[in-house]
Structure 1
């Protein structure tokens, strides 16, 4: 038995599994031990105290006793000792493949693996493996182990490839999600900018409407004051706007005649202005208090058109020819000699 253990250890088997196999098979030889190791290679090695020898060993012992009893009976009947020995059952034979087994445990193991179910008792003795047979068994065992390692290596490579494909797919999906989020953010930002532009336009329109309303009120007030100065009857509110338009036209067409009437500029509380764009287009008119700074005129014209900025607009006057600097924006219309009316050229 020590030779079987050394052979199994030389094959590279774990010593604990060799001990388990030899004890579990009742030390019945190299082949049962190898079969046990291969059959249970995926199972953990139990404690040796809990491993019991195969029942076949006990059975074999019992059978041996029975055989001895049978031999004694035959001797009692006058049968020769040689005939008794020949009649002794020494193995179990598979009727389907012809293989012989030392005990019923090995025969059952063969039946489980091959599916054969026809066995008979045999007087043939199972001979121990020769050195050549041991080498063949060892080569066969190593070939099986190499084949198993090869299959495991192929399976590991396939698993690694599958895991890599999953990782790449997850990376692509994450990149796609990131791009979609960026696109949504860009659309949201564009929509917000568009809404801000609309809100700005509405705010400018509201300011413009308020300026027009204020301009209308001032025009009506100016018309009433003029009517009082000239001793004419005061027009009602329905005709005041028409009168204000006529007054604006007369003030625009003849600013010099108003200045030549002999009235001092300081006597006028309000100033009528017509503002023309240097880029062309419709002129803008407004009435402001004479004490208003020129910067208020810049704010008015910036509210009328989006192309004008309060910080960059400049004003000039053709008659008398004059260009107003940025320092003039803090001066009042009265100080700049623009009362009671004037025409300004605005450059964005």
Structure 2
């Protein structure tokens, strides 16, 4: 069986085998196997571009002299002694090679640079030696595949760790964005609920004001029907007269009716936050809470449960305990100026 057939039986690519045999000048199974192991991962060059192999096993011509010079070998040293040189020997490891091409190959692999001519013959490998070489080659190839598989597994593990870390970071970023969105939605709902509450309070105050206005109109119509012109004219005057100044409102009343006889009370309410004063006319039997509901309905900055009222002339301050008392009981009839805060 030829060297090529032996290598093919081992499962090597025929093109790679041809390359190895060309590179080693067909100088045996061992050099070809060493070459395949050395260049197993290298691309196979084009056979037409490869240098033609020499058929001679012995150094010939100027090229062989150059090879011998590169190996530190003095050609003809054995011949000058009257003995025929049959091989080339590495002075550093003792290996024997058939020609300078194989010696050069050994020098490139091992880094050895001291060679000499030798009279020793290189015997061809026996079948047993070939089998041993094949077994050694299989072991080397198996070790190389094992190392390569371990390196690939290590690289795959590192890539998997990187992928998991990137996925974990992306998941954390996504979770943070989700939490921020939840907080944003909760804040928007809180503001919407607060605005709805204020809007409902304003609507409620408006309804109450409308009810009081209808009751006031009904009382006026009843007074006209009953012939109590003085009360009716007083009510009409308070509805049509412009808002008086503070001094005018707090001046003693010129009417002959006592305070408890006024059915309606005209109020001017100033907001501590500023803006135009609010004016309204309420039945004297209305409570101070009705006034608070009216103010809350006109301004979203005022809350019915927390608003307080102050009267400048005479100086009085009304607390939440006064909300259940009527305007008449609080001495605010027939008119008064209040500051809401």
Is TM (by shorter chain) over 0.5?
A: yes
Cα deviation for residue 142 of structure 1 reads: 0.9
Aligned to 2:48: 49
The alpha-carbon distance between structure 1 residues 58 and 146, as it changes in their structure 2 partners (threshold 3 A), is closer
Give the paired residue count: 238
In the alignment, is the contact (CA less than 8 A) between 1:92 and 1:120 conserved in 2?
yes
Mapped pair 1:231 → 2:255: no
In the alignment, is the contact (CA less than 8 A) between 2:212 and 2:283 conserved in 1?
no
For 1:84 and 1:130, locate their aligned partners in 2 and report how far apart those are by CA, in whole Å.
33
- 1:29-40 matched pairs, under 5 angstroms: 29-40=28-39
Mapped pair 1:95 → 2:91: yes
Aligned to 1:13: 12
Measured on the aligned residues, the alpha-carbon RMSD in Å equals 3.9
Aligned to 1:131: 127
Q: State which of 185, 193, 197 in structure 1 corresponds to 2:193.
A: 197
Cα deviation for residue 193 of structure 1 reads: 1.5
In the alignment, is the contact (CA less than 8 A) between 1:92 and 1:122 conserved in 2?
yes
Secondary structure at the aligned position of 2:89 is classed as strand
The alpha-carbon distance between structure 1 residues 161 and 8, as it changes in their structure 2 partners (threshold 3 A), is same
Give the TM-score of the pair, scaled to structure 2: 0.57
Q: Which moved more, 1:152-161 or 1:214-223?
A: 214-223
Give the TM-score of the pair, scaled to structure 1: 0.56
Secondary structure at the aligned position of 1:92 is classed as strand
Cα deviation for residue 186 of structure 1 reads: 2.4
Secondary structure at the aligned position of 1:155 is classed as helix
Cα deviation for residue 218 of structure 1 reads: 5.1
For 2:143 and 2:216, locate their aligned partners in 1 and report how far apart those are by CA, in whole Å.
109
Mapped pair 1:241 → 2:265: yes
- CA deviation profile, 1:310-343 (whole Å, cap 9, x unmatched): xxxxxxxxxxxxxxxxxxxxxxxxxxxxxxxxxx
Secondary structure at the aligned position of 1:241 is classed as strand
For 1:214 and 1:200, locate their aligned partners in 2 and report how far apart those are by CA, in whole Å.
21
The alpha-carbon distance between structure 1 residues 185 and 137, as it changes in their structure 2 partners (threshold 3 A), is same
For 2:113 and 2:201, locate their aligned partners in 1 and report how far apart those are by CA, in whole Å.
103
Cα deviation for residue 167 of structure 1 reads: 4.5
The alpha-carbon distance between structure 1 residues 86 and 142, as it changes in their structure 2 partners (threshold 3 A), is farther
Aligned to 2:104: 108
- 1:240-319 matched pairs, under 5 angstroms: 240-241=264-265, 244-246=282-284
Mapped pair 1:156 → 2:156: no
In the alignment, is the contact (CA less than 8 A) between 1:219 and 1:244 conserved in 2?
no
- CA deviation profile, 1:208-240 (whole Å, cap 9, x unmatched): 443455456556656655665412163353684
Give unmatched runs, 5+ long, in structure 2. Answer: 66-78, 239-248, 250-261, 267-280, 294-303, 306-341
Aligned to 2:2: 3
For 2:170 and 2:187, locate their aligned partners in 1 and report how far apart those are by CA, in whole Å.
26
Mapped pair 1:122 → 2:118: yes
For 2:117 and 2:189, locate their aligned partners in 1 and report how far apart those are by CA, in whole Å.
98
Identify, as 1 or 2, the structure richer in helix.
Answer: 1
The alpha-carbon distance between structure 1 residues 18 and 244, as it changes in their structure 2 partners (threshold 3 A), is closer
- CA deviation profile, 1:30-69 (whole Å, cap 9, x unmatched): 2221122222211233333333334695872438x99xxx
Aligned to 2:319: none
Q: Which moved more, 1:210-219 or 1:23-32?
A: 210-219
Give unmatched runs, 5+ long, in structure 1. Answer: 67-82, 250-281, 287-303, 306-348
Q: Which has the higher contact order (CA 8 A, sep 6+)?
A: 2
